[in-house]
Structure formats: C-alpha cells, structure tokens
Amino acid sequence: MSDKLKIREHLRRIEAKEYLIPNFQREFIWKKARIIKLLESVLQNKPVGGLLIWRSTIPLTSKRYDNNNDNFLKSYILDGQQRLTALYIIMYGKLPYYYSKDEVELKDFKIIISLKNFPTYELYFKEKITDPENQIEISHLLSDNFKVKDIKKREHIDLYMELKNNFLTKEIFYEQFDSEDVTKAINIFHDINTSGVKLTGAELLLAYISGYWQKAREEIIKEKEKRKLDKFDLSIDMYTQLILACLVKTNNATDKTLHDKKMKDLVITCWEKITKNDGALSKTIAFFKKYKIININEIANKPSIIPIVFCHYYFELTENEEKKLAFYFFTTQKFAYFRTNVNTRITEQLKILYIGYEKNNSLLNQLQICTDIVKEGQILNEEFLKNQSTSSSLFYMMKWTFRNNNAVCLDKKQTIDLDSPNYPFEKDHIFPKAILKNKYKGTENRKIINEIANICFLSSKANKSKSNNATAKFLKECKEKNPNALIKQCIPENEELWELENFELFIKNRRTLIVEAIENFINNLNQTSDNIKELEEVISIDQIMEEIVSNEDDDTEFKSSLRWDYKLDKKNANLEKNIIKTIAGFTNHIGGNLYIGVNDDNELLGIKKDLDIFHGSIDKFYRHLVQIIVENFDTTFFNNNIKISFPSVNKRDLLEKLDDEKKIIEEEKLLLEEESEQTKTLCLIEVKQSNELKFIKETNNSGNKIIKCYVREGPLTNLLPQDEIISYNKNRIT
C-alpha cells in the first residue's frame, strides 16, 4: 500500500512510539550538513524521499522499546530511518526516544534560522540564540507554543510564517506492507538498500543475523562498551566480520551462509567463544598488549586483527606459535598488506590457517605460508620509508619497535610505552616543522617535513621545552643527559647531521636505522623449530589475479567450466575431456596452472554453474574432479603432481591489475552487477611436470581405445605425433 502523510503526523507517531526501529538498523550517522540540506529541501517544498514501513505482530527487538509481550500490529521502519530521525531533530531540537546521546556522533540538536540578511535566510546548528532580533530556533518556530509576537521584526513575519507552513504541511510518501515473515522483511530491507547512505556488507549481514537472533546488535554494543576499558572497542562491523571469519572462513560479507536462520545456534555459540572472559578476543587483546600495542587506534589496518582473533579462536598457542603469530602480524603491518584487496586477502589467509586446524597440521607451518605470501616481492628498505606519514602503518610499526626495545623519552629515562594521563607522550618533529616549512615552501620535496623519519617521541613536558629550538642544541642536551635514548629512538649519532643544512642526509640515515631496528625486532620473533616441516610452495591470491589478467601461455590455461556448456546452456560431460587433455599437456611439458571458471577473454565466471550440477556442493565437485583425474592417470600421479584449490577472487580487486583503458570498461560493467555477484569462486588445478610422459586413452570413431600423448605448445594443448614422442621425451627434462 502506498500513501502520504504530513511530516508532523509521521513525527507524532514517533512521539507516541507507534513507529519502531528494528535493532538490526544501524545508528543515526547523518552529519550536520546533511540535516541542514534536508531542512532546506522541506522549506523550499522540494522532494525529500519516502519511507518503507513493515507492519507485523511479530515482537521484533527494537531500539529502546520492549515489545516482547505485545501481540498487536506494530509498524517497523525499514527504510528512511535516517531521514525521519533528522526531521525529528529539526522539529523538536532533541533525539527521538530510540536513541541516547552517547549512541550518535551528533552532539548539537538545535537549529537556528537567521534573517540577518533578510530577505534571504541562513540555517545552522547553534546551542543558543545570540541575535534575538534576527534569529529563531527552528524547533520553537514549528511548535504549538510559537506566537507571532515572538518575531521581533514585523518585516520578518511573512517569511517566518511561510517557512513554518511549508514544513508543517509538507507530505512524505510511504510504502507499507504487512507480513509475518521476518526473512521476507529483511530481504526487502536488503533490496532497497540502494539509496541514502548505503549500508556496508557487514551491516547488511548483521541485519540478517538479527532476524533470527534479535539481540545480536544489542550484544555487540554491550561487548563494545566493555572493551572500552581495554581500549580495544572494535567497530560493530568488525565484530560481525569476526563471527563471519570464525564460522565461514571468509571476510566477504556478501557471503549468504549466515543469512539462514538454521545458523542461529552456531552464531550464538561462536559469539560466546569469541567474547567470553578467556575467549578469543580477550586472548587477542592480551597478545597485543604483550607486544606493546596498547590500543586499537594504533592498528592502522584494522582488518589485520581478524586472522589474529581467528588463530586464538581455533588454537591453543604454544610459546613458539605465539611468537610466530607476532612475526606474522608485524609483517602484515610493515607492508600494510591488508590496505588493498582486503576481502580476498583475508579470506585466503583464513583458509590457509584453517588447514592447520582441520588437518591437525602445525600452526607454525601455516603461519609461515601466510607470512611468505605477505612478504612476496617486497623488501623493507630506506626507500620504502620515503614519505611515510604518521597515519601509515609503518609509523606505528616504528612506535611498537621503539617500545619493545624499551625506548625512553629523549631527555629523560621515562619509557614511551606508558599509557596514562599522568605521563602523556607526544610525537614531535625532530627538526621543527615551522623552520622546515620556510625551507621547503613551494618545492616538490615538502612531504619530507612530515615523514616518520623526522618524528620522535617525547613526554608532554619535554615537548613543550623543546618547542622550536634548534635541533642540534636540543639533541646535544639529550645526549648529555641520556645518550642511550638517542640510540633507542634511532637518532643518528653523527652530530654534523643535526644541523639544518644536513636535514635530508639526517633523514636518509635515520630511515636506514629505523629499518634495521624494525627488521631486528621482527626477525627475533621468528623462531625456527624442528616441528616446521619443509613448506610446500603456495600460489598467492596476487599471483592468481596476475595470471587471470594475463593471456594464456605454455603454463596457464583458462576453462569456463568443468561440465557446464555455456553455448548450449546445459550440462555437457564431454567438456571434461578438455580438462584431462590440458592436465596431460601441462605435466608432459613444464607443468602449469589450469583455472576453471575463467573464459578465454579473461572474464571471471566462477564455478557456480558447475556447482549447481553437484547440488551446490564444492565437496561433491572436488570428489568428482579427483575421480576423473585418477581414472585417466592414476592415484600416484594425482598425489604427486596435482593440487586442487578453490580461491575466491573479487572482480573489483582485479581492476587494480588492468591497464587504464580496460579498467574503465570493467568498472562500468561492475556498476550493473550486485556486489554479492562480484566475488567468484574458481577451481585452480596446479599441475607439476611428471618424471615420465603421461598418455591418456581416447575412444576413436570405431569405438576402439587408442593411446595419445598431449603436450603444451604456447597457449595450446596439441597432440604429439607418434614419431616425435621419443625425441621429445629425451629433451623435455634437463
């Protein structure tokens, strides 16, 4: 049903608690500018968007409203909650019943309308009237208590009354539907999330979870408040991602596994295991504090917390494993590994770590594999530190290194890891910013002023005494008082470098010292152990994406599917022969990677069509694939030469690997796709070169079995003529 009501009536229904806000709705996030813009639209009689209302007798947990015992028809706001809340603030100068001040970022609620520049008017947030002749509180203007005599200037009366009338007579359309099905309501909530301030994937996931566990958001907020004491109060989104990671081993919030109400008991059990006093989160916080990471804000790439919680969720860590986990974590931080391709990279790491739990492998092995992927092709050196600012993960990596090395304030023996209001520590420029600004004004090299190699840590008192004094003078005084303090904060000891004219040389030298300190600290955590087996080489998700955007060649092949025929739009078991031929071609050549779910145009199709044939089961798909490989070769060949995995690749992550022209084309295509359709599961078959030629049997037109030998020649798998087999075999392995 569609209808319209005056704003005033909608707001009356809020006052009377006739409109309820389901707990799965996020908090009010609109900024002042957006509220003012909405008010201007109303006053100028412009469209302002509508509401979606779900009516049901279901006693859904709602924000600040206990309706568990109610069985009458209730009206839940599914869409337009932000807009409606803003209108309430405008009209009443306060928050509606379903929010408290500590739940919202907005701290001012009174809006002033000023006619100082009459006949134009201005709108702004202000706590008090400062110009009674020209200003009126909008909430007072709109109230029943307003009198014309409250307007101080007669020439203002008509305009004020016109604006008041525009607001009070403005109508808002609303769409209303009745249903006793919570899942249907949440699906609609998901579908209409295409306007306004778009919800994150984690927020939508939490909405689905709240559909069957109504106290989910309430429990998360309670946990968040509790963790403020530890200074590790994660975002609501992050808590949702932790549940997803621990249960589904993915960071892709569009995954629908947790949408099913059958997951309720598992979700609640997982939540309890994460948040109990000796649970995964408590252990993670203790782990961080042990290594001098004293609050959540010091971790620049917040998603990097997820694998750490995951390890504490599944494993009871030994001392060696804990050190290895620290080595892994700090490696992700120094290279800011989770800054890009977040979902894909975290999902890959979770799956590798889970193998250790599932197969009872050593966690040390799995952490080493993950670390090798993070480090691949990267070296921390002096160049790497160039232009790194205090907002970068390397700044905190430097800070943690100094703390763990027991660094102290430059002019006192006061450690910099204290986290107390009585001993505040501040970051400060070694060479004063004010002096350097003049030196580098208008130059391309001005970023050097604020890079981390020009930052040290001082107590608040020492920072004030230093002020803009000459660097050489200050450092000499510090050296006399406490010479080791300079060394522990990686200050070059060569006093000539402390002079302003040698600033750039000082920075270059300090970069090198910082790199050495970070590397020494991290590498000391990397304990070797007899328990670590020889590690199998693992292809990283970045390598996978690089191969997908490249052309097929002698060791890379793409197949759209295992047995789904895209041309005929039906199952076609004959397509499996192409998979077997490619495996034979690779193993008879130099080995290679066969991707199922990618077409010849490098387009990600995924294996969903194949999975549908196997009733949606990757396990059944895998077992069938293993069966046909073993049938055409043998079990020994499979065990020694074949590795099968199912990487998930996000199309948006792939964009970073494309040239500019193709990137623009693919970005336009993505606009037409649902976010949930942008991540594709592939099947990757890694084939090793065999020690001897492998032949496969094929049936000819007469129905007879004949033996054939296939080899790889560039991007093609070709039949090797019989008269060339002997010579080819002699030359293939050198």
User: DSSP labels for 329-358?
Assistant: HHHHHHTTGGGSSHHHHHHHHHHHHHHHHH
Tell me what pLDDT residue 70 has. Answer: 63
Indicate if the pLDDT at residue 540 is higher than 70. yes
Q: What is the mean pLDDT of residues 546-570?
A: 93
Q: Over the chain, what is the mean pLDDT?
A: 87
Q: What is the mean pLDDT of residues 554-575?
A: 94
The distance between the two most distant Cα atoms of the chain, rounded to a whole number of Å, is 108
Tell me the β-bridge partners of 644.
685
Tell me what pLDDT residue 418 has. Answer: 52
Residues 254, 544: Cα–Cα separation, whole Å? 21
Tell me what pLDDT residue 198 has. Answer: 57
The radius of gyration of the chain's CA atoms, rounded to the nearest angstrom, is: 32
Contacts of 8 (CB under 8 A, 6+ apart): 91, 168
Tell me what pLDDT residue 693 has. Answer: 92
pLDDT in tens, 54-88: 888 887 777 777 665 566 788 888 888 999 999 99
Tell me what pLDDT residue 593 has. Answer: 96
C-alpha torsion sign, points 372, 374, 380, 383? positive
Q: Are 111 and 39 in contact (CB under 8 A)?
A: yes
Domain at 541-732: CATH architecture: 2-Layer Sandwich (3.30)
pLDDT in tens, 458-469: 876 665 666 556
Q: To the nearest whole percent, how much of the chain has pLDDT over 70?
A: 92
Indicate if the pLDDT at residue 449 is higher than 70. yes
Tell me what pLDDT residue 195 has. Answer: 45
**117, 151, 125, 149: which is closest to 136 by C-alpha?**
151
pLDDT in tens, 689-722: 998 899 998 888 888 889 999 999 999 999 999 8
Indicate if the pLDDT at residue 457 is higher than 90. no
Indicate if the pLDDT at residue 394 is higher than 50. yes
Q: What is the mean pLDDT of residues 602-628?
A: 90
Contacts of 309 (CB under 8 A, 6+ apart): 242, 245, 246, 274, 280, 281, 284
Residues 607, 614: Cα–Cα separation, whole Å? 11
pLDDT band at 90 (very low <50, low <70, confident <90, very high): very high
Query: What residue segments make up the domains of the chain, in order of their start?
Result: 2-178, 200-378, 383-525, 541-732
pLDDT in tens, 670-680: 887 777 788 89
Q: To the nearest whole percent, how much of the chain has pLDDT over 90?
A: 48
